[in-house]
Amino acid sequence: MANFKKATSIGDWFDQRLGTKKIEKIMASEYWIPKNINFLWAMGMVLAITFKLLLISGIFLMMYYKPDVDLAFDSVNYTIMAEVGYGWLWRHIHAVAASVIFLIVYIHMFTAIYYGSYKQGREMIWISGMLLFVTFSAEAFSGYMLPWGQMSYWAGMVITNIFEGFSPEIAGGMLNAPGLVEWLRGDFVPGDAFLTRFYMLHVLLLPLAILGLIGLHFGALRIPHVNNQDGEDIDFEVESKKYLAGDTKGSKVMRFQFDFLSKDIFVLGVFLTFFFYLVFYHFTFALDPVNLDPANGLKTPAHIYPEWYFLWSYEVLRPFAKDPGLVAFMFAQVAFFLIPFLDRSPNVAPANKRGLFAIWFWVMLVDMIVLTIMGKLPPEGIFNVIGGVAVWTFLGLFIALPIITMLEKKK
């Protein structure tokens, strides 16, 4: 991997990596991939294809969906599901893809954490990835509003209520501008203006932002190349020359077309088999039964909870009273952005070769699963205790990260 100077700006960061000469060189040459990688390096491709499935199925759904509080519910649950030929299929594909893409995103993120793929020149890949994560979360949330069922309405109410903000006494009214919540909703409660603006965000602004961010993510990936299973610093020029001179076995790299691509396509085939199995036989897991009742502002559901992929951050909010809860929740949204800066060790190596960091990694993974389970259960009795411990562990892990990585010995 090339050694870059400390960048003085984002423009400088890209100039160093994607200077005109380098771009010409990349275009003129083939693209090389390390041999020492496993199926987890196919997750990026799986994500790109799942996003395409969302775009295509979304375009079909748009043809019959009506963004109007009086028509939205029926346009989804009767027109699309029962009247339009294969409308049900596009809806199942869209709902299952929206859920499964988060599972793959989490696997992709934790792979990068495990192998330290956010360090030494790869920071921008991580940051652009995190921006994708946040924008995807907004895309999923805005899409959830559109069927205008009970959960759409009440989740919309709860989340926009967050902007009521901190108590004026502690934060000088931060986020607490008078009328901010009403301004966001376009009304005192979620209604027609709310639904129409979330529709615009879901079908136009956020997909455009995601496409731009995918471009940034892929651009950041061109140089340096992807990491590998041992975090080895490979000289791609030497290794690709070795390969082209005929020593294909001895070389540490392989061609993108079609050596790497054939492996990627195999993993994609396995994924799509699982995906269409869910679409045809188990699509209900992605559609909450409470949302099969039309929105009713006079009837609050007994237990309001978000989709499974938001449960961990929702749980971080719950154990606290209003202000600290908001701080903890906001921290959870941005905490993962900080990983490349909190990890103070220069070692790019898999977690199992990094001493205490291995423990940190597995505790974090298990803790996020516990937070997710507790987020779904009612906040009472033993669930409150377990949830509380998991939240403090989550916050503590971010404080511990710089300390344990500073203690880590150099490779």
Closest distance to ligand HEM from the beta carbon of 392 (Å): 24
**Residue with Cβ nearer ligand HEM (117 or 152):** 117
**Residue with Cβ nearer ligand HEM (55 or 221):** 221
Count of positions on this chain that bind ligand HEM (CB under 6 A) = 25
How far apart CA 269 and CA 209 sit, in angstroms, is 28
Report yes or no: 173 and 165 within 8 Å, Cβ to Cβ.
yes
221: contact with ligand HEM by CB under 6 A: yes
How far apart CA 124 and CA 130 sit, in angstroms, is 10
How far apart CA 130 and CA 125 sit, in angstroms, is 9
Which residue among 18, 45, 389, 400 contacts ligand HEM (CB under 6 A)?
45
Structure tokens at 342: 């909190």
135: contact with ligand HEM by CB under 6 A: no
**Buried-state track 125-135, b at ≥16 Cβ within 10 A, e below 16:** bbbbbbbbbeb
**Residue with Cβ nearer ligand HEM (47 or 155):** 47
**Residue with Cβ nearer ligand HEM (221 or 400):** 221
Closest distance to ligand HEM from the beta carbon of 100 (Å): 12
For the segment 48-67, give every residue that binds ligand HEM (CB under 6 A): 48, 51
Q: What would you report as the CA-atom Rg of the chain, rounded to the nearest whole angstrom?
A: 23
44: contact with ligand HEM by CB under 6 A: yes
* Cβ neighbours around 210 below 10 Å, total: 19
**Residue with Cβ nearer ligand HEM (59 or 158):** 59
Point out which span in 56-64, 118-126, 295-303, 344-352 binds ligand HEM (CB under 6 A): 118-126
113: contact with ligand HEM by CB under 6 A: no
351: contact with ligand HEM by CB under 6 A: no
Amino acid at 148: W
112: contact with ligand HEM by CB under 6 A: yes
117: contact with ligand HEM by CB under 6 A: yes
Phi, psi for 254 (deg, rounded to 5): -135, 165
* Residue closest to ligand HEM, measured at CB: 44
From 321, 337, 281, select the one nearest 137 (Cα to Cα). 337
Q: Which residues, in sequence order, are bridge partners of residue 149? A: 294
Q: Which residues, in sequence order, are bridge partners of residue 32? A: 255
For the segment 245-304, give every residue that binds ligand HEM (CB under 6 A): none
Q: What is the DSSP string of 101-121?
A: HHHHHHHHHHHHHHHTTTSTT
Which residue among 80, 109, 140, 195 contacts ligand HEM (CB under 6 A)?
109
119: contact with ligand HEM by CB under 6 A: no
From 132, 283, 54, select the one nearest 62 (Cα to Cα). 54
Which residue among 105, 124, 254, 286 contacts ligand HEM (CB under 6 A)?
105
Closest distance to ligand HEM from the beta carbon of 398 (Å): 15
| Cα-Cα-Cα-Cα dihedral sign, residues 370, 373, 376, 377 | negative
126: contact with ligand HEM by CB under 6 A: yes
243: contact with ligand HEM by CB under 6 A: no
Angle separating helix axes 87-115 and 43-62, nearest 10 degrees: 150
Which residue among 41, 271, 305, 310 contacts ligand HEM (CB under 6 A)?
41
214: contact with ligand HEM by CB under 6 A: yes
130: contact with ligand HEM by CB under 6 A: yes
**Residue with Cβ nearer ligand HEM (126 or 141):** 126
HSE, CB side, 13 Å, CA atoms: give it for residue 129.
28
17: contact with ligand HEM by CB under 6 A: no
C-alpha 269 chain-centroid distance:
22
How far apart CA 370 and CA 360 sit, in angstroms, is 15
**Residue with Cβ nearer ligand HEM (150 or 313):** 313
47: contact with ligand HEM by CB under 6 A: yes
348: contact with ligand HEM by CB under 6 A: no
Helix ranges, 120-260 (H): 123-145, 150-161, 168-171, 180-185, 192-200, 206-222, 236-244
How far apart CA 408 and CA 411 sit, in angstroms, is 9
How far apart CA 294 and CA 308 sit, in angstroms, is 21
Q: Which residues bind ligand HEM (CB under 6 A)?
A: 41, 43-45, 47-48, 51, 105, 108-109, 112, 117-118, 122, 125-126, 129-130, 132-133, 214, 217, 221, 226-227
